Amino acid sequence: MPANSHDEQMGAYTEAVKSGLYAKQSGLTGKYDNVRRYWEDETTRANLRPYLHNLIKHQRYRMERLHILDLGCGSADGYELLKGVRQQDPSLQQVEIDLISAEVLGRYKGIDLNEDLLDQARGIYGNNPKMIFEQGDFCTGLELSKEENYDLYFTSFGTCSHHNDDETFVEMMAKIAENTLNYSIVTCDWLGRWSYEWQSLWTNDLDEFKNMDYVVSYIYEKEERERRRDELQHLTLRLMSRGEAEKLIQKASQRAGIEITPLRWFDRSIFTGRHMDTGDYNHYAQPMRRAVNSLHESGLRTDFDSLVIDYMPKQEFDFLNDYFNRVQMCWNRLVNYTAGLVRCYDPSKRSYTGAVPDIPASYPRPLRKMMEHIRLVVENVGWMESGLPRENIIEPQLGYSLRNLVSSLQDGQGCAHGLVGIFKIDKT
Ligand SMILES: C[S@@+](CC[C@H](N)C(=O)[O-])C[C@H]1O[C@@H](n2cnc3c(N)ncnc32)[C@H](O)[C@@H]1O
C-alpha cells in the first residue's frame, strides 16, 4: 500500500536509520577501517596462504575436510579472514578463487569468553550447520575431547596477548599438540613488544615488564577521546618479542613431548598500528594510520606530506633505532618519489614535463621494485579524464606499495603492532 501521510513517509526513513544500514560507510575510522581490511587482513592472509594451501592438499589426499578451531573468535572475524584467503595468483578468468571452498570446510568452531560476542557471531552464522560457537576459556584449560580434533588452530588480532601469565599459554599450546591427530597448523597472534606506537614501554628488562595497560582509546576522535578519558576501557595485554615466544613454544613442546615447529614469523602494521593515531604511549607518534586510511578511501585526495615519517630514536635501543630508521627511509623515499612523479606528470600531454625522479641502483631491491611499480601506475592512468585517477588508482596503489615494502623489510621480531607465529605439529 502506498504511504500517504507525511508521518508515514518519514517513518520509512526513521526505520532505515534504526536498522544501521542507512549509515554512512567510511574506511577512515572504526574497527574495519581501510588499514584493517587492505593491510592487516591481507598481510595475515598472504603469510598464511602457503601453509593453508599445503594443509588443504594434505586433507584432500586423506579424503578429509578441514576442521578449524578459532580461539577467542569474538564475532567470528577470524572466519571471515580465513574465508578471504585466495589461491596464489589466480587468472583473471577464474571465478572460484577461495582456498577454503564450501567443499573443503568440514567444521568451524569458535570459542570465546564473551557471550555478547558469541551471540553476535551466532546472529551472523547461526544458520550454517558447519559453524558452532561455544563459551570457553583458553586461559583456564582448553576443553578438547579425544574425538574433537582440528587441523587448524587459529587466533587473530592479538588474542594470544590475553595470556597474561605465560604458564597458561604454554599449557594451551601443549594441549593443542596433544590433541592433534596427525598434522595441524597453529597460528599465534600477539601484540608486538617493540612497536613504535608504544615506544615509551620499551624496556631492557623483559622479565620485569611483560603486560601493558592497553587503553581502547582509538575508537574515538581526538576531542571525544579526551572528554571520555576516565570512562575508557582498559585491557591487560602481554607484549611479545620473537625471542620470548620461541622460548614459550619450546617449553610447550617439552611439556607435551611433541615437536611444535615454527614455520613463519611476521610483524604486522609497523608504522600503522591503531595507537599511532592516539599518541597515548609515544608523544612522537604521527597519525599514520589515518593517512594510510585516506590513501585507500575512494574519491578522497590525500596530502602526501601527511605520509612522511619522522622517526624519533630512543636512547639505549640502537638495534631498534637502526631498524626503524631503515624502514622510515625506504617508506619516505617511496612517498616522495610518488609525489615527485605526480608533480611532473602532465595529463594533457600524457607524459612528464621536466625531470623524472630517478631510482638509484643503490636503493634496497624491495624499494626499487615498488618505485618501478608506482612509476608504471602513474604513466598508465595519470592521463585518464574520468574516475579520479589520482584518488582512486594512484593513491590506493601507493598504499599497496607501502604495504608490500614494509612486508619485505619486516623480520618477525615483534617490531610492529602485531607479531604472528605460524607453527606445525606433524605426527605423521
Ligand atoms: C583481540 S580480540 C580478537 C577477536 C577476533 N578473533 C578478531 O580477530 O577480531 C580477542 C578476543 O579474545 C577473547 N578472549 C579474551 N580472553 C579470553 C579467554 N581467556 N578465553 C577465551 N576467549 C578470550 C575476547 O573476548 C575477544 O573476543
Q: Which three cell numbers stand for residue 102?
A: 564450501
Domains of the chain: 27-202+239-269+413-426 (3.40.50.150), 288-409 (no CATH)
Q: How many angstroms separate the alpha carbon of residue 347 from the centre of ligand 1?
A: 50
Query: Rounded mean pLDDT of the chain?
Result: 94
Q: Residue 181 contacts by C-beta under 8 Å, 6 or more apart in sequence?
A: 149, 427
Handedness of CA 324, 330, 331, 333 (dihedral sign): positive
More confident residue, 72 or 226: 72
The pLDDT score that the predictor gives to residue 3 is: 54
Give the C-alpha separation, 324 to 289, whole Å: 17
pLDDT band at 20 (very low <50, low <70, confident <90, very high): low
Atom 13 in ligand 1: residue holding the nearest Cα? 72
Residue 168 CA, closest ligand 1 atom number: 19
Best residue among 133, 159, 268, 269 to mutate for probing ligand 1's pocket (most ligand atoms within 8 Å of CB) is 159
Q: Does residue 395 have a pLDDT over 90?
A: yes
Give the C-alpha separation, 84 to 379, whole Å: 31
What residues does ligand 1 touch, defined as CB less than 6 Å away? 72-74, 77-78, 111-114, 117, 136-139, 156-159, 162
Atom 8 in ligand 1: residue holding the nearest Cα? 156
Q: How many angstroms separate the alpha carbon of residue 128 from the centre of ligand 1?
A: 22
Best residue among 36, 125, 162 to mutate for probing ligand 1's pocket (most ligand atoms within 8 Å of CB) is 162
pLDDT in tens, 206-251: 998 999 999 988 888 888 888 888 888 899 999 999 999 999 999 9
Atom 14 in ligand 1: residue holding the nearest Cα? 72
Give the C-alpha separation, 152 to 129, whole Å: 19
Q: Where are the beta strands (DSSP E) in 102-254?
A: 105-112, 131-135, 152-154, 183-192, 211-215, 234-240
Q: How many angstroms separate the alpha carbon of residue 41 from the centre of ligand 1?
A: 16
CB atoms within 10 A of CB 163: 23
Q: How many angstroms separate the alpha carbon of residue 156 from the centre of ligand 1?
A: 8
pLDDT in tens, 290-309: 999 999 999 999 999 999 99
The pLDDT score that the predictor gives to residue 19 is: 63
pLDDT in tens, 101-155: 999 999 999 999 999 999 999 999 999 999 999 999 999 978 787 778 899 999 9
Q: Which three cell numbers stand for residue 271?
A: 608504522
Residue 138 CA, closest ligand 1 atom number: 20
